[in-house]
Amino acid sequence: MIENHLKYEPASSSKYAGIKQAIKERGKIHIKTLYFFTYFMLGFAFFKSNVQNQHDADSIIRVFLDEALALYSLCFFAGCFFIFKLLEFLSKKSSIFECLKNIFYWLSNTSYEFILGLLVVYIFGFAIHAPISVNSIPWLDTSNFYAYVFFSLSLIFITFSLGLFAFVEKEVLKQSNVPKILLIISLTLLLVVLLTNVKS
């Protein structure tokens, strides 16, 4: 009985090895992005306040979080991702498209990470009450600490789970329902936060 259990456990863990590795790798990429944007943001804020003696949080946020920049980033990602998927399909028929596929994979992945960085700046804007973030959804009461935390976490986990669906192979995703469950829970949490914290 014990021997059978020991035999089953490695087989079971190897069954999920692909999805575990994919989540680990995507997580590492996201953490690097978060570190970069967070420290760059703090460094820029320090420079503006201590060197240039400007203490307007909104002007600091607006350097990074501009509506045109966000829209351009989304359009650029959508275009690159569409071309990547097209080249991925064509590369199955001919290896001549393999190099181009890798280039557009890198472009779509990088632009996706940039969008994640903009999202972090957006959330950071709520933390310091920058008007550009707060006024974007004036009907949501993010002054509630728990609402702000759950709102931020839900956005980050939605972005993370969508990244898994976008950049992890379908065969690997089929190994586990974790990405689907994570997306459903994150969307549900976001919906609950939005519905329970609407300003009257």
pLDDT at res. 13: 56
Residue carrying the six token digits 């079971």:
12
Query: In the chain, what's the furthest Cα-to-Cα distance?
Result: 72
Residue 10 has pLDDT above 60, yes or no: no
Tell me the pTM.
0.74
pLDDT at res. 102: 92
Domain spans of the chain, in order of start: 25-136, 139-200
Neighbour count for residue 95 (Cβ, 10 Å): 9
Neighbour count for residue 178 (Cβ, 10 Å): 15
Residue 5 has pLDDT above 80, yes or no: no
Q: Hey, CA dihedral for 4, 6, 11, 12, is it positive or negative?
A: positive
Phi and psi at 93, nearest 5°, equal -95, -30
Per-residue pLDDT reduced to its tens digit, 179-188: 889 899 999 9
pLDDT at res. 12: 52
Q: How far is CA 27 from CA 84, 174, 184, 193, 200, in A?
A: 22, 19, 19, 25, 38
How much is the average pLDDT of 7-16? 55
